[in-house]
Each structure stands twice: as C-alpha cells, then as structure tokens.
Structure 1
Amino acid sequence: MGTEANMKVLLVYANQFPLLAPPPVGLAVMVNPLRRAGHEVRLLEFMRENDPDALLERTLREFRPDITGFSLRNLDDMSMTDSHDFVPDYVRWVGIANRVSHTIIGGSALMTMPEALYARTGATWALAGQGNKAFPLFLEELAAGRTSFTAPGVLWRENGAVRRNPGLFDGYKGDGRIEWSVVDRERYKKPYMKSCVLTKTGCPHRCQFCDVGRSFGEQFVPREPEAIVEDLRRDAREYGMHRGDYFLVDALFNQPVDWAKRLCEALLRFEHTVLFYAVLEPTPDFDRELATLMRRAGCLMVTSLAGSVDEGMIERATRPFTLESVHRCFGLLERAGVPYMVQYMWGGPGETRETVLENFRQAARWKPIMSMASYGIRILPGAGLAAVAREEGVIDEATDLLKPTFYLAEPLRQDREWLGEQVKRMSHPGLRALPQWAGLFWRTWRAGRQKLVRPEVRMPSAPTAR
C-alpha cells in the first residue's frame, strides 16, 4: 500500500438500475478532497455497462489500486411484483477487487443495513455516512498504520467483532462541490438526473415505511443558498452545464420553508436561467409565496410521494402532512403553474380495497402531469414498518432483510391481481394536465434557446421563459 501522499484510490459506482439513474454524486464529491490529500483517484461507472465484471478486472489490472471503494446505491429495485436483488452482484464485485487491493464499501444501500451488508460482501472496511471528510481521514489513519479508527462512519473488524463509528451528516457544509470532470454524464440519460446539485441532507420526519432519517441524519442540514449557486456558477463556467436541467439532491425540498424561499431567491439572482426538478411533500407549511417563487426560479416539475391518500392511511403511516394539506398544496402548485407528479404506494398497515379506491376519489380533484402507483412496501430495518411486520409475523429475527422482503396488509394479500389492475388504472400521464405538458415543453425549449444564444446574460423573468 502507498503512503498517505501517493495512495492509488479506485472509486466504483456500482449502480446499474436504469429506472432511476442518478450520477455518482457522493463519489464525485469525494474526488477533490482525496486529491488535495495527495491521492491518485480514478472513477469507474457501471451504469449501462454490458460486462461490468470484465471492466472491473481490466481496470484493477491496469490501475493497481491500493484501495477500491464501492458506492452501493440500492439493495434491490424495491418492487414486489418483479424483484431484482442487487446484493449478489455486490458480493461478486467486491470479491474480484479483494484479489487485488483492499476494499471499502459505502453508499445508501450500506446505510440501510451497515453491519449486515459489510459482513455479506466481505469488504475489508465500510464507511456508513458522508465520505467527503471521513474517507480522506480514514486513509490518513490507514497510512499511519492504524488498525482501529476514529474517522466518522467507519466499520472494521477487530478481535473477532465488528466496530463502527457514528457517521457524519453535516449537509456537505464547506465542500459539496461535485467534480463533474470524472463523471461520464452521458450514461445518465434521464433528463432530471443528468445534472445534480447537493442542497440538503437529513430528514426529521418518521414516515412508517422510510429510513432516510436513520440513514442520512435525523435533522435537515441545508447548505447555504449562496454555496449552492456558486456550485452552479462553476458548473456553467467549467462544463457548460447552464444548458441543462438540474435535479436538487434533497429528501424534501420545501422544508425548512424559509430556506427553500431563500434558495429560490438566490436562483432568481443567478446570472443564468436554472431549470430544476425537486422532491416535494405536501406539508401544511407549504404556501403560495413558495409555490410562486419556485415557478419564477425555474422549477420544471416536482415529485410527491403521496403514498395512500386515504385520510386514515396518511395518519397511520405517520406522514408529515394531512389530506387537507395535500389538496391545498396541489392546488397552490396548479395555480402557480408548477407541474407535479404524484406517486402512490399501497399496501401499508390498515390498507383495504376501500382505502385504495379512496385514492381515486381524492385524485379526481388534482391535475398532475403524471401519476405512478405501486403496491407492497419494502421492509427496511430502520423504518417503523419493520416493527409492525414483526408483530404480525410477516418477519422474525431470522428473516434476511438484505433480500427483497415486502409488507402487504393482510386484507390485500389475496388481492394482488386486483391491486395490479388498480396500479394500471392510476399509473398514466395526466391527460387532464395537457396544458401543463405543453407549458413544460415550451418552457424547456424556450429557456434552452435563450441559454444557447446568450449564456452570459440573465434572461427576463417573463412567464414563458421560466
């Protein structure tokens, strides 16, 4: 292994799931801190690779890294109807790298079940948390010959036991810059994923099915709007990325509300027109001012995971909103001209045929640009749903939750064919929102024309241009 000043680090983005294809943001944020520490860094991407095993073997043979780090994004595709387990691939790839170098795993899949995935893959170490500060510190300790570590989030084996340090979740304060020069952005074809900017980490809400708070921090830690805009400015200057759209990397864009407003205002002051997508929850504090600011700042579309919008189901799922706030929020978005997509997820505790059908009655009042539905909820050990599943005997202590394991409310367990029919009924482009579709395409085309002609000058904020 090299010394601290010349360690060769191979970073592998192992995500091959094409349905959602975000670029390797977490790894790209680590590149500059690693280089400043004197390390030689190479990034390898498996997205859209026909033979990732051969690519990995060839790269290991040519680069001869001292350590190979894998970013593992998903345990599986989270689909009850056609499950694909990604863990066997991770085990195989880590095994290939173990023959050549030390290995370390990280990423959101690890955050879901750190000790279990660390043990299953056989990696030398793991890092559960932000890596931009923790990974360079870990390498410094490693180069110094340490066999136990103080770096945040690190897992290691010592005296037959696994040790783990608490992870770091600071919102990437001070260094959330994505180093796009190492990323092959053409691999990530989804228009709302090709370009990203980090805006916030963490979530204080405790939705029954979700483990984001456990995985990424139990409080919102937003970046300062000025720092976010500076990242966009650098992207425009160095990579010409003012000619594309951005996805805001954020579990919940619209909270804290004052921060979301400040970010929109900062985007309005920015010298380039920025078009963006975001995740939004219809919380009671969402107001007309924020909806209007989002529209003026360049919001192309928001996605809302509504779940099951029966009033009782919302309460049982401990969502951060009410049925009344859902109606109010979607109405404000429609009046402000912000297109939105609604995602439905059925089958949680208390779900019945009647509560599923209630979703259709409520949805008749909205005009989303698209609706998507699914049934069956992935059981995650850090989510409240896991406790319910144990009480009902769906899982027990011997259940291997690294494998795709789903909850479906007892009244619906024999109704999967009927549920599939309802999913098809609900999942469609929002035909009632055709004017919004037309407006979306017009705004994207118009803004693109403006940026191509005069990228250095901020365009007027007329509605047709934003």
Structure 2
Amino acid sequence: MSRVLLVNLASLPMDGNQPIFPIGVRCIQDALDRAGHVTRLVDFVEEPNSLVDLEWLYHEWDVIGFTIRNIDPIDITCSTHVDEYIAFAERIRMELGRRGLDPVLVGGGPGFSLFGNTLVGKLGLDVGVIGPGEQVMLDIAADPKPFKGRGDVLQGRRHCGFLTDTLRHPSSLMAAYSNAYQAMIGVETRRKTCYQTCAYCPYAHIDGDNTGDLKPIDVLAEEIRGIHDQGFRRIFFTDGIFNSELRYAKDVVELVRELALDGLTWSAYFTPKPFDDHFGELLQGSGVEAVVVSPDSLDDSVMRNLGKSFTTRHVSRFLDRSRKNDLPIKVNVVFGGPGETRESVRNSAGFINANLEDDELVMHVGYRVLPETALARHLGMETDRLLYPTFYPFDLNVFSWVIQDLDSRFVSPELMMNLMAGRASARKMARVEDATRTIAPPPGMTYLALASKGGDNDCCSQ
C-alpha cells in the first residue's frame, strides 16, 4: 500500500484559465482507492487556501502526481500556462527538499501528454505518463522505488475498471464545481482512438493505441444518476466524436431519454457523418443543449488540407436533418488553416451567411501547432520548440477579410473585440526563425510564436 497525493494543476488560478471538474485525475484516484492505496486530491477550486498553506504537502507521501489539462489558453493570445506550472513545481520541490521528503514525482494529463519528455525535465519530475494513467499509476503505487529518477515517460495502458467501476465523486469536490455559474461536468462513455485524421488534433497521440472500450449502459446510468443527485444539471460527453459509432451513440441518447432526470441537459462533439434521420429524431427532446460540429473551414479545399473526412455537402445534410428536428446547433470555424486564401475565406463566409443563424457560429482565427499532429510534421519543428504557443502560418489579413465577408448579423461587438484582440496579439508575437523547419511560409504568411518569460525559447526572435 502506498500513500499517493494527486495535485490538480489545472485548478491553479492563471490568466485565461477556466477550471473544469477534474474527471481525468478522479479516474486515477478512484482506481488507486479501489486497489487499497491511501490517496488525497488537492484541487484549488475546492480548497483555495491550499495554494498558500502547503500543509497538505508535509506528509510521508510515497508518490505525488501532478495533472496538466491545458498548456495554454485556447484563444490566440500572448499567454501560456507553462511558466506557472514550472514555478509551482519548483516551489513544491523546494518545500519537499527543505523538509527532507523525497516522494516519486509523476506528471500526467492531456496537456502533459503532448510534451511529456520536455515537461518531465522542466518540472523536475521522476517520470511522466502519456494518455490514460490509471494502470501506470497502479504500477507506480505498487512499487514506487524503481521509478525514482527515471526521467522518462511511460505510455498509458488499458484499464479494465473502466468497464466495471461506477465513478462516484466526493461531495465536497462536486459542490465546489457545481456552484459555479452554468457548471458542467464531463462524462466518459468510451475509450477509443479517434478515427478522424484532423491535421491539428493530437487526440490519437494522447489516447494511445486504444481499440475501443464502450462503457456498459448500466454503469453509465449509475454514473449519470449520481452526478444529478449531487447537483449538476449539465453534462458533457467527453468522447472525441460522440457519434463516431452511431449505434452506441444512439444507445447513450436513448439512456438519457429513459432516465428523464429533472433539468438535465447535455452536449458533445459531433461529426456531420454518420448522422442519419433516426439519430436526429432521437436527439429531439433528449435534453441536448448543443449539437456541436467542427468542420473548421467551410471551403472544401481547406477542409481537405485539414484532413476532414467530410465535405460541405455533408455539413449541409447535417444542418437539414438538425433543423428538421429543431436541434440546437453550434458550428466551429477556425480561419487561418493550411491553404487559407482570400478566396477560401470568402467561400467559408458565404456558406455561413447562407446557412447559419446568428447564434450558431463559433469562430476563431489561427491554429495552435501541437506535437504529433500533421501540422507539426508539415512544419518539421521539434516538439520542445512547440511548448510555447506556435501558430500555423497564415496571412494576418484574415482578420480583416472575415469582417468584410461575414454578414453584419454575425459581426457582434463581442466578435469584433475578439478579432481585434487576436490581431493585436498576433502582431506582438515573435516571427519564428528556425533552421530545423523543413518548409518556408508562403508569401504574405508568417509563423507566430510566443517566447517564454525567461527568454529561453530560442526558436523565436523579435
């Protein structure tokens, strides 16, 4: 039996950070508890004073695990969370050293998984975990000593408990997050590597070689009931693509309808195909608050460059089926992708103007390049040079083109402010000069990157 402390770094108060319920680290804690280990989860939303008072650190912990969900804010800004993580980890290591404590330090979580080898060193950890962490953390807790000082990362493995164990969360943690405005909690229904090949998406790398566990409907039902009993009324199914396996997606929707829990709403990420008429009918009246799809562009050529498995024809069909069933729709579009031109912006804007309602568009500019993605391979930049925000090269005139081409009903004051802030941030960011890059940006386009506070990100130059 080991004593394991888990620290949710995603709950640190940081600019641009919006903490969400720590479903991933709770899965790990649940697995450790079931195996008989003694655990504690430190979450700074639940315990704000713990950020100052480090009393929780001063015990004979055998293992301390740190979880990182996001590396930087989603928006294109001159901002990152990396430096806060590094500073906090250094503070923890100093306190441990001062008291003569020497537990095994482990890193994990989605954000950590993207930069595992780099972050193990920068955070001063003994070992890291990429992908699902339950089974590896069980291995570490069973015998911590061999993991001390390894300095490498381990690939997460399948955890059989996902199929049998109902995940129930502590009341105090639930209360801390359910009291937030419009609080939402994640629910994991499956573990399967996404079949999509989107050029910017690292999910396949994070998930690892996962052939596909589908949570039994009875286990899922108990989990949803428990969440509702504890005060949450909004859930998000965390699957990369909710309807990637349409039959199972239909089973989940039928379950939600049968449970008929008072006030419960839900949402998820969908794909325009497969999406048949029966699925649209099931969704109607199920409490779905948003059917979210991400074509990312609405120009077929850019969609191909992004690796999409569908075209604007499929998006149109999805919109028709959704409207027939009065489904609430959200369409994510990100301008500035591979091959984006004046014409492609005009094409996307034209599709939006002709097919979307005012409140159905969610828009961003710029693709953050992440390791183990097609965009990263195309640029040929080393993983550690992507730790601080680096965006795929795009013409900065995109900001102006979007405003010119979208109908005025989409150009709200909020959107204008976001575009202006994005353009200002982009102009402040460094132009990348990197000899390891295998291609040059097309004329009129530039690479953008954010130098670290310490100035040690030498792929950037002002």
Q: TM-score range by the shorter chain?
A: 0.7 to 0.9
TM-fit CA distance, 1:378:
0.7
Matches within 5 A, 1:269-348: 269-270=258-259, 272-273=261-262, 275-348=264-337
Q: Indicate the SS of the match to 2:31.
A: helix
Q: Indicate the SS of the match to 1:165.
A: strand
User: CA 1:336–1:114 in structure 2 vs 1: closer, same or farther (change >3 Å)?
Assistant: same
Instruction: Indicate whether 1:74 and 2:76 are aligned.
Output: no
Partners of 1:40 and 1:367 lie apart in 2 by 52
Aligned to 1:83: 78
Quick one: which of 171, 189, 211 aligns to 1:199?
Answer: 189
Structure 2 length normalisation: TM-score? Answer: 0.77
1:51-107 CA distance string (max 9 Å, x none): 87524x34324x553332111011111433x23111111112222222325321111
Instruction: Indicate whether 1:227 and 2:227 are aligned.
Output: no
**Residue type at the aligned position of 2:71:** L
Aligned to 1:433: none
8 Å Cα contact 2:368/2:389 also seen in 1: yes
Partners of 2:34 and 2:181 lie apart in 1 by 32
Quick one: which of 173, 178, 182 aligns to 1:183?
Answer: 173
Partners of 2:327 and 2:276 lie apart in 1 by 13
Partners of 1:108 and 1:98 lie apart in 2 by 23
**Residue type at the aligned position of 2:364:** S
User: CA-atom RMSD, angstroms?
Assistant: 3.0
Partners of 1:420 and 1:323 lie apart in 2 by 19
**Residue type at the aligned position of 2:255:** A
**Residue type at the aligned position of 2:22:** P
Q: Indicate the SS of the match to 1:280.
A: strand
* Number of residue equivalences: 399
8 Å Cα contact 2:5/2:42 also seen in 1: no
8 Å Cα contact 2:132/2:156 also seen in 1: yes
Instruction: Indicate whether 1:174 and 2:158 are aligned.
Output: no
User: CA 1:183–1:368 in structure 2 vs 1: closer, same or farther (change >3 Å)?
Assistant: farther
Partners of 2:176 and 2:412 lie apart in 1 by 27
Q: Indicate the SS of the match to 2:294.
A: strand
Partners of 1:45 and 1:423 lie apart in 2 by 45
8 Å Cα contact 1:28/1:180 also seen in 2: no
Instruction: Indicate whether 1:418 and 2:409 are aligned.
Output: no
Partners of 2:319 and 2:393 lie apart in 1 by 28
TM-fit CA distance, 1:326:
0.6
User: CA 1:315–1:420 in structure 2 vs 1: closer, same or farther (change >3 Å)?
Assistant: closer
**Residue type at the aligned position of 1:326:** V
Matches within 5 A, 1:127-276: 127-142=129-144, 145=145, 147=146, 157-158=149-150, 162-169=151-158, 172-175=162-165, 177-181=167-171, 183-187=173-177, 193-201=183-191, 202-217=193-208, 219-237=211-229, 239-241=230-232, 244-270=233-259, 272-273=261-262, 275-276=264-265
Partners of 1:276 and 1:374 lie apart in 2 by 26
Aligned to 2:36: 38
Quick one: which of 33, 57, 60 aligns to 2:57?
Answer: 60
Aligned to 1:463: none
Partners of 1:192 and 1:208 lie apart in 2 by 32
8 Å Cα contact 1:371/1:427 also seen in 2: no
8 Å Cα contact 1:176/1:198 also seen in 2: no
Fraction of identical pairs, as percent: 21
8 Å Cα contact 1:339/1:368 also seen in 2: no
User: CA 1:188–1:181 in structure 2 vs 1: closer, same or farther (change >3 Å)?
Assistant: closer
8 Å Cα contact 1:278/1:302 also seen in 2: yes
8 Å Cα contact 1:29/1:176 also seen in 2: no
Quick one: which of 386, 389, 410 aligns to 1:404?
Answer: 389
Q: Indicate the SS of the match to 1:408.
A: strand
Partners of 2:262 and 2:364 lie apart in 1 by 35
**Residue type at the aligned position of 2:400:** W
Matches within 5 A, 1:20-31: 20-31=18-29
**Residue type at the aligned position of 1:140:** A
Q: Indicate the SS of the match to 2:292.
A: strand
Pick which of 133-142 and 269-278 moved more: 269-278
Q: Indicate the SS of the match to 1:377.
A: coil
Matches within 5 A, 1:429-440: none
Pick which of 197-206 and 44-53 moved more: 44-53
Partners of 2:46 and 2:37 lie apart in 1 by 28
User: CA 1:113–1:36 in structure 2 vs 1: closer, same or farther (change >3 Å)?
Assistant: same
Partners of 1:397 and 1:246 lie apart in 2 by 37
Pick which of 270-279 and 346-355 moved more: 270-279
Q: Indicate the SS of the match to 1:297.
A: coil
User: CA 1:206–1:173 in structure 2 vs 1: closer, same or farther (change >3 Å)?
Assistant: same
Aligned to 1:442: none
User: CA 1:9–1:291 in structure 2 vs 1: closer, same or farther (change >3 Å)?
Assistant: same
TM-fit CA distance, 1:271:
5.6
Q: Indicate the SS of the match to 2:251.
A: helix
Stretches of structure 2 lacking an aligned partner (at least 5 in a row): 97-101, 415-462
8 Å Cα contact 1:192/1:247 also seen in 2: no
User: CA 1:78–1:235 in structure 2 vs 1: closer, same or farther (change >3 Å)?
Assistant: closer
Partners of 2:405 and 2:57 lie apart in 1 by 44
Q: Indicate the SS of the match to 1:42.
A: strand
8 Å Cα contact 2:20/2:177 also seen in 1: no
Partners of 1:398 and 1:125 lie apart in 2 by 18
8 Å Cα contact 1:104/1:125 also seen in 2: yes
User: CA 1:294–1:170 in structure 2 vs 1: closer, same or farther (change >3 Å)?
Assistant: farther
Instruction: Indicate whether 1:94 and 2:89 are aligned.
Output: yes
Partners of 1:188 and 1:320 lie apart in 2 by 37
Partners of 2:241 and 2:155 lie apart in 1 by 24
Partners of 1:43 and 1:164 lie apart in 2 by 22
8 Å Cα contact 1:277/1:302 also seen in 2: no
Partners of 1:429 and 1:230 lie apart in 2 by 43
